[in-house]
A = this chain, B = another copy of it.
Amino acid sequence: MYTLIDGKKTAAEIRQEIRREVEDLRKEGKKVPHLAAVLVGHDGASETYVAAKERACHEVGFDSTVLRLDEDITQEELLDHVQRINEDPAIDGLIVQLPLPQHLDEQKVIETIRPEKDVDGFHPVNVGRMTIGLPAFISATPAGILELLRRYRVETSGRHCVVIGRSNIVGKPMSILLARKDEPGNCTVTLCHSRTRDLASFTRQADIIIAALGKPRFLTGGMVGEGVTVIDVGITRLPSDKTRSGWKLVGDVDFDSVAPKSSFITPVPGGVGPMTIVSLLRNTLLAARKEIYP
């Protein structure tokens, strides 16, 4: 019988913990954490994400600012705004909601954010420090997965973890983090991707699988061994006539065939997804306390 890794419940617990820490700060007369989000243009999904982040800040007692900028803003103007927030001592964490309109240079914008306020963990300094094993802001999805492994006491040391997908925001950092001399960590890690031959021969040998390739129900029961731990990072919207919205969220894992063989498994929705925003909150709290960059 497998254990369902309940990301929704875990995320709620962590929000509760953060809320208590914020109350303590308030009682001690200290400044509460303040997250600023920059939103350029009117992309529907971006609006939704930023609104959810604002709501989460409110829920735990953080201050939050959303800076809405016109779609036609120039690169220079945008960088000026980022610089101003960089220098504003009232703001602890700064995120720029991606994607940006095509005429803007995303990488340049990311590199303009001060690493000390880069709570998304996308700045090369944070990626580099994570790779070297120094304190760093770790981006939301990998940080959320580590937290789930930690809270569900999934043994990682000496175990073989197969990561499927080499994206900069999930697969690559997960492969680095789980191989680190740390807890969770100390895994033997295999990083698989679109060029991997005979992927199933790797997944069958895995003690832990992180599926982050973005292909709905890709990983099936025949591709995994008994007792495997499966973390499903995929979120694809598929049309459905069984939901009122007309669509449903589907992961990279074929839950029905994989779950019976697994020891731990995350559902979709309700697994990794809910953890991402709490990871951002946690990073903002760390930034306010200057724990990463003292």
Contact = CB atoms under 8 A, between A and B. Distances in A.
A132 B190 CA distance: 18
Interface stretch (A2-10, A32-40, A118-126, A281-289): A118-126
A188 B187 CA distance: 16
A123 B128 contact: yes
A166 B191 contact: no
Contact of A190 (B125, B186, B190): B190
Interface stretch (A14-22, A23-31, A171-179): A171-179
Given A128-B124, A176-B172, A157 B195 contact: yes
A159 B202 CA distance: 13
Nearest to A186: B195
B188 A195 contact: yes
Top 9 closest pairs, chain A to chain B, by CB: A128-B128, A124-B128, A127-B128, A190-B190, A188-B196, A186-B195, A158-B195, A179-B191, A124-B129
25 contacts: A124-B128, A124-B134, A125-B125, A125-B128, A128-B130, A128-B131, A131-B131, A131-B172, A158-B195, A159-B197, A166-B180, A166-B181, A172-B179, A175-B179, A175-B189, A176-B176, A186-B195, A188-B191, A188-B192, A188-B193, A188-B195, A188-B197, A189-B190, A189-B191, A191-B191
